RNA sequence: GCCCGGGUGGCGAAAUGGCAGACGCAUGGGACUUAAAAUCCCUUGGUUGUAACACCGUGCGGGUUCGACUCCCGCCCUGGGCACCA
């Protein structure tokens, strides 16, 4: 008869109350005697649908590490907050008239309740909310610093306008010509917008990636997004009485002798000017066609090259040859100079275009035969202009009478030589280009930070003074955009008009608001000093806590949030407000959790509520058709979304936490399987019974017990350090498998060690067990055990004996034997002698404690 | 097309040059029970066999090594990112 059951519901309630009442996880601002450790979760957008099983994955991982660090004597900062500006609350406001602040507050309450229910050790006194005026006062203040530094400007630029969302979007928010949120079509439209000069930081954003402890994948994505390429700008003279010139950017100035035509982007400013009357009509038509194409169309039609001849010619600056100037939409107006020199023999895009329009193709690099063959390219075809080659080789036909001769050189040499020659003639120079564009920073929305500035009637821009901040959002009845591209704030007539308190001059407030990314660009700093109303952060506190030691979140923010936040941080660093040049030293991306899904034999997805799982496998409820189980992204339509509240009610928060970690490696994409939660739940129940029901004895552990106990200490400690939580849990299971049993006496040392080791994973249960073991204080700060190397020693171990790599026998021996002793023992085994069959032994390979391999 | 991951039992996974499949789920069998649930014990990569054993086995094909899931070369499949960036 059990004396107690594992009643997770009351245990969890009890300890959550205890932690809250005792402020167990309150973090002190400074602790001279303790090293600091700052662990950050990407704060969530509090959506109306509540927490998803994906959220607690990262939160549990960081919580385990934090609890472990506290028990190892660190002063740990582990905060949580809300990235609460955003479109859904605003759209709901448009539909129902409910103020977004009301919706947001409600959603935050739900998120907070759900997160607290999982027992995470956040210091809730540091909670931040980006929509709180006390918070966005400082977002506005930082914008002022950006503006004062010349990093914020207004530009009339072609922007990504999304009619369905009624707002413009940043390049980063447009995926395949559709909006990242909601997949709505996006069109190019020139508009007056706020921009941030992130391009000024391109080089540093790129270079400083090298020292960060981030996954190579994410670093590579940022590098690609920044897209640095080195080359040269080259000036081409235009052939016409009035003169004129076009500058191009190329990464291959060495191929200049092979440039047989030029291409301008259809939007290039010179196009209208240089087009001959005979071609004017065709050029106009092509420009119109290109402008009406959405980005989506451009992507889909990428295979076929189109373009029109302008009727104009330019001069190849190295050969003096007259070459035609075309326009084509494969040249982008927004990159480089919006114009290129075309070298069809050595560029695949130019080659395709030249073939399409019968333009000359001149080979000026003899391909390296071996490299060409490796790529499946026939070098002779290249020489004859029947194929293009972009790889290594020797320059040919590349000299002029003006002192440039690069024949015979390699690609690298000739790039340098040509660039120097261009520079000496004043018609070119080395140049570095980036794909990164300036950040489009305004949105036509209500629910965002207002810009802290006024457009004065005299045309100047006045920044609000610090004591006019925060500039709060006006109360409104109607949140609909005007439809003309005018933001909702344009309707707030009272709010819009501004009178300068000092000069009495008048102006209009900005009607755009900041994008959602603004608040998340600096929230990690505010956690350090959340209540400061004199500064966005106290410099002393900043110095103590920064940088963030570990940042955990989803990979979907690889370029957006992480690039923007690094940019702001570097600006704040340059202004002397922060002490580190990078905010996030180590970054880990948790893998997405997939839902269990079903499809029929034709591969059609079947919603989970139409599926019945029989002993023969899953079948369709109505037809009985056999289905195949597989993992797919959780979605409402597939009905495979798992709600953390349900899991918690059935198995408890500790089981939920443990399962999230036991599924597999943190960074891997993993399918959720509710049946498997049962497994970790059973483990927790056995753990409870082992400590709460088995007799605890004051005896020392015997040798075997000590060995197991110390092996577990070692493995769990190492695994937490390397974030391998799944294998740490396995090891704890091995402990229970070894120590649990009906009324087997359990040495106190083993019991206490186990409870401490399990406590970061299952904190509620372990607080309870710690109390049952007779302690009256929280386990949260109890010292983490260290393993005793001596206890790990083993007297005899089974060693595999191989002959030519195949296992032929197993023998018990001490793991401390020497090479000679091991081979001696191995060769003494009769079965081995038989296997050798009198052949001479060439050598033996011995791995202590593992195997002996005999080579004959 | 280019750049990153990944491919191991029925399933989630472990092992990063040294006995593949730890740990868990699910299966099958047993104990307990009037019975069921729960719990506990055993079994479980494949093939032949009653069994010991033997042979095969980490996507496919080669290679390096005494020894390869692990390192190298080529290919296939799959997830993600980028995509006319000159």
> A637-652, pLDDT tens digit by residue?
778 888 999 999 999 9
Q: How far apart are CA A562 and CA A569, in angstroms?
A: 10
| A613 shares a domain with A505 | no
Backbone phi, psi, residue A150, to 5°: 80, 20
| A423 shares a domain with A344 | yes
Sort strands A36-41 and A550-554 into parallel, antiparallel or unpaired.
parallel
| A737 shares a domain with A611 | no
Q: Any idea what the CATH number is for the domain that residue A249 is in?
A: 3.90.740.10
Q: Please report, rounded to whole angstroms, the spatial distance between the CA atom of protein residue A849 and the C1' atom of nucleotide B72.
A: 29
| A336 shares a domain with A278 | yes
Half-sphere exposure of A772 (CA within 13 A, CB side): 23
| A444 shares a domain with A295 | no
| A388 shares a domain with A240 | yes
Report helix, strand or coil for A194: strand
* Domain boundary, last residue among A409, A434, A459: A434
Longest CA pairwise span in chain A (Å): 109
Residue A799 lies in a domain: yes
Q: How far apart are CA A845 and CA A735, in angstroms?
A: 34
Residue closest to B38 C1′ by Cα? A682
Residue A526 lies in a domain: no
Lookup: tokens for A27: 């973090």
Looking at A384-520, which runs of residues are DSSP E strands?
Answer: 393-395, 428-434, 439-440, 453-456, 461-463, 497-499, 506-509
Residue A494 lies in a domain: yes
Q: How far apart are CA A416 and CA A421, in angstroms?
A: 9
* Closest listed residue to residue A186, CA positions, set A177, A175, A199: A177
Range of the domain at A844: 794-855
Nucleotide at minimal C1' distance from the A665 CA? B13
Residue tagged 């070459």 (tokens) = A323
Nucleotide at minimal C1' distance from the A347 CA? B86
Nucleotide at minimal C1' distance from the A225 CA? B82
Nucleotides of B under 7 A from a protein CB: 3-5, 11-15, 18-20, 22-26, 28, 38-40, 54-55, 66-68, 79-86
Report helix, strand or coil for A127: coil
Q: Any idea what the CATH number is for the domain that residue A727 is in?
A: 1.10.730.10
Residue closest to B22 C1′ by Cα? A730
Q: Please report, rounded to whole angstroms, the spatial distance between the CA atom of protein residue A612 and the C1' atom of nucleotide B83.
A: 42
Residues 6+ apart with CB under 8 A from A152: A143, A146, A194, A195, A196, A197, A441
Residue-level length of chain A: 856
Lookup: tokens for A303: 């295979």
Query: ∠ at Cα A608 (A604, A610), nearest 5°?
Result: 80
Q: Please report, rounded to whole angstroms, the spatial distance between the CA atom of protein residue A220 and the C1' atom of nucleotide B81.
A: 9
Q: Please report, rounded to whole angstroms, the spatial distance between the CA atom of protein residue A726 and the C1' atom of nucleotide B12.
A: 11
Residues 6+ apart with CB under 8 A from A855: A804, A841, A842, A843, A844, A845
Residue A525 lies in a domain: no
Residue closest to B6 C1′ by Cα? A668
* Closest listed residue to residue A123, CA positions, set A169, A173, A189, A67: A67
Report helix, strand or coil for A65: helix
Q: Please report, rounded to whole angstroms, the spatial distance between the CA atom of protein residue A374 and the C1' atom of nucleotide B73.
A: 13
Are A610 and A16 spatial neighbours (Cβ–Cβ below 8 Å)?
no
| A188 shares a domain with A119 | no
Residue A207 lies in a domain: yes
Q: Any idea what the CATH number is for the domain that residue A501 is in?
A: 3.40.50.620
Q: Within its chain, how far is the Cα of A528 from the centroid?
A: 23
Q: Please report, rounded to whole angstroms, the spatial distance between the CA atom of protein residue A222 and the C1' atom of nucleotide B62.
A: 37
| A211 shares a domain with A179 | yes
Nucleotide at minimal C1' distance from the A852 CA? B18
Q: Please report, rounded to whole angstroms, the spatial distance between the CA atom of protein residue A803 and the C1' atom of nucleotide B5.
A: 38
Q: Please report, rounded to whole angstroms, the spatial distance between the CA atom of protein residue A477 and the C1' atom of nucleotide B30.
A: 72
Report helix, strand or coil for A174: strand
pLDDT for A303 equals 66
| A387 shares a domain with A241 | yes
Residue A767 lies in a domain: yes
| A715 shares a domain with A629 | no
Backbone phi, psi, residue A743, to 5°: 55, 20
Residue A137 lies in a domain: no
Q: Please report, rounded to whole angstroms, the spatial distance between the CA atom of protein residue A593 and the C1' atom of nucleotide B79.
A: 13
Q: With a cut of 50, which residues of chain A have pLDDT below it?
A: 1-3, 301
| Domains held by chain A: number | 6
Classify the complex by whether its ipTM is higher than 0.90, answering yes or no. Answer: yes
| A319 shares a domain with A362 | yes
Nucleotide at minimal C1' distance from the A329 CA? B84
* Closest listed residue to residue A254, CA positions, set A398, A126, A147, A77: A398
Q: Please report, rounded to whole angstroms, the spatial distance between the CA atom of protein residue A656 and the C1' atom of nucleotide B10.
A: 25
Nucleotide at minimal C1' distance from the A352 CA? B84
Q: Any idea what the CATH number is for the domain that residue A814 is in?
A: 3.10.20.590
Nucleotide at minimal C1' distance from the A799 CA? B19
| A251 shares a domain with A167 | no
Residue A540 lies in a domain: yes
Are A292 and A301 spatial neighbours (Cβ–Cβ below 8 Å)?
no
Nucleotide at minimal C1' distance from the A341 CA? B86
């Amino acid at each position: 008869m059990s004396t107690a059951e594992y009643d997770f519901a009351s245990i969890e309630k009890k300890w959550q109350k205890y932690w809250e009442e005792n402020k167990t996880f309150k973090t002190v601002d400074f602790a001279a005697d303790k090293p600091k450790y700052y662990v950050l979760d990407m704060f969530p957008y509090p959506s109306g649908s509540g927490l998803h099983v994906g959220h607690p994955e990262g939160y549990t991982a960081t919580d385990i590490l934090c609890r472990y660090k506290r028990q190892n004597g660190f002063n740990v900062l582990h905060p949580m907050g809300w990235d609460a500006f955003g479109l859904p609350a605003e759209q709901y406001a448009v539909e129902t008239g409910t103020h977004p602040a009301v919706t947001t507050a409600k959603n935050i309450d739900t998120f907070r309740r759900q997160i607290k229910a999982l027992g995470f050790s956040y210091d809730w006194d540091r909670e931040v909310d980006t929509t709180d005026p006390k918070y966005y006062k400082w977002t506005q203040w930082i914008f002022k610093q950006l503006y004062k530094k010349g990093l914020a400007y207004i530009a009339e630029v072609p922007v990504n306008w999304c009619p369905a969302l009624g707002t413009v979007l940043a390049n980063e928010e447009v995926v395949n010509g559709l909006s990242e949120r909601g997949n709505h079509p996006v069109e190019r439209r020139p508009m007056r917008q706020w921009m941030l000069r992130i391009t000024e930081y391109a080089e540093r954003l790129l270079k400083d990636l090298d020292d960060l402890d981030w996954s190579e994948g994410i670093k590579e994505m940022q590098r690609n997004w920044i897209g640095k390429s080195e080359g040269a700008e080259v000036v081409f003279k235009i052939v016409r009485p009035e003169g004129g010139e076009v500058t191009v950017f190329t990464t291959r100035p060495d191929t200049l002798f092979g440039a047989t035509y030029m291409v301008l982007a259809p939007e290039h400013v010179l196009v209208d000017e240089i087009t001959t009357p005979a071609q004017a009509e065709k050029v106009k038509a092509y420009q119109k066609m290109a402008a009406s194409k959405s980005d989506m169309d451009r992507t889909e039609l990428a295979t076929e090259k189109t373009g029109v001849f302008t009727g104009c010619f330019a001069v190849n600056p190295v050969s003096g040859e007259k070459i035609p100037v075309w326009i084509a939409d494969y040249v982008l107006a927004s990159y480089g100079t919006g114009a290129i020199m075309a070298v069809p023999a050595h560029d695949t895009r130019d080659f395709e275009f030249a073939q399409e329009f019968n333009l000359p193709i001149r080979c000026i690099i003899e391909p390296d035969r071996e490299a060409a063959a490796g790529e499946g390219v026939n070098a002779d075809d290249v020489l004859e202009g029947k194929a293009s080659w972009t790889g290594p080789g020797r320059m040919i036909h590349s000299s002029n009478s003006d002192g440039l001769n690069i024949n015979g050189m390699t690609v690298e040499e000739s790039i340098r030589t040509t660039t120097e020659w261009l520079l000496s003639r004043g018609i070119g120079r080395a140049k570095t280009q980036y794909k990164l564009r300036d950040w489009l920073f305004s949105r036509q929305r209500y629910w965002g930070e207002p810009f802290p500035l006024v457009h004065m009637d005299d045309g100047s821009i006045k920044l609000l003074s610090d004591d006019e901040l925060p500039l709060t959002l006006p109360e409104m009845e109607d949140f609909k955009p005007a439809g003309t591209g005018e933001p909702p704030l344009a309707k707030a007539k009272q709010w819009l008009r501004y009178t300068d308190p000092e000069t009495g001059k008048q102006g209009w407030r900005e009607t755009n608001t900041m994008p959602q990314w603004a608040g998340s660009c600096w929230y990690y700093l505010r956690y350090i000093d959340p209540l400061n109303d004199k500064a966005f952060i106290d410099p002393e506190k900043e110095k103590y806590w920064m940088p963030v030691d570990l940042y955990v979140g989803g990979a979907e923010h690889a370029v957006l949030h992480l690039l923007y936040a690094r940019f702001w941080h570097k600006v704040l660093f340059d202004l002397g407000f922060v002490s580190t040049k990078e905010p996030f030293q180590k970054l880990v991306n948790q893998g997405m959790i997939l839902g269990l899904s079903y499809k029929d034999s034709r591969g059609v997805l079947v919603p989970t509520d139409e599926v019945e799982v029989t002993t023969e496998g899953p079948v369709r409820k109505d037809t009985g058709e056999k289905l195949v189980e597989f993992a797919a992204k959780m979605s409402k339509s597939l009905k495979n979304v798992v709600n953390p509240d349900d899991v918690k009610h059935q198995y408890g928060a500790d089981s939920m936490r443990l399962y999230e970690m036991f599924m597999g490696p943190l960074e891997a994409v993993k399918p959720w399987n509710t049946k498997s939660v049962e497994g970790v739940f059973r483990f927790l129940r056995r753990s409870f019974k082992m400590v709460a029901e088995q007799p605890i004895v004051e005896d020392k552990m015997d040798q075997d017990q000590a060995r197991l106990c110390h092996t577990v200490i070692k493995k769990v400690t190492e695994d937490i350090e390397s974030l391998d939580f799944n294998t740490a849990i396995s090891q704890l299971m091995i402990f229970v498998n070894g120590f649990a049993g009906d009324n087997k006496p359990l040495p106190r040392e083993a019991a206490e060690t186990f409870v401490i080791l399990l406590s970061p994973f299952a904190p509620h249960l372990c607080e309870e067990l710690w109390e049952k073991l007779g302690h009256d204080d929280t386990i949260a700060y109890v010292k983490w055990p260290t393993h005793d190397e001596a206890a790990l020693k083993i007297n005899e171990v089974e060693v595999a004996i191989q002959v030519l790599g195949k296992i032929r026998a197993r023998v018990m021996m001490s793991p401390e034997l020497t090479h000679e002793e091991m081979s001696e023992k191995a060769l003494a085994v009769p079965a081995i002698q038989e296997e050798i069959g009198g052949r001479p032994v060439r050598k033996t390979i011995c791995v202590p404690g593992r195997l002996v391999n005999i080579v004959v």
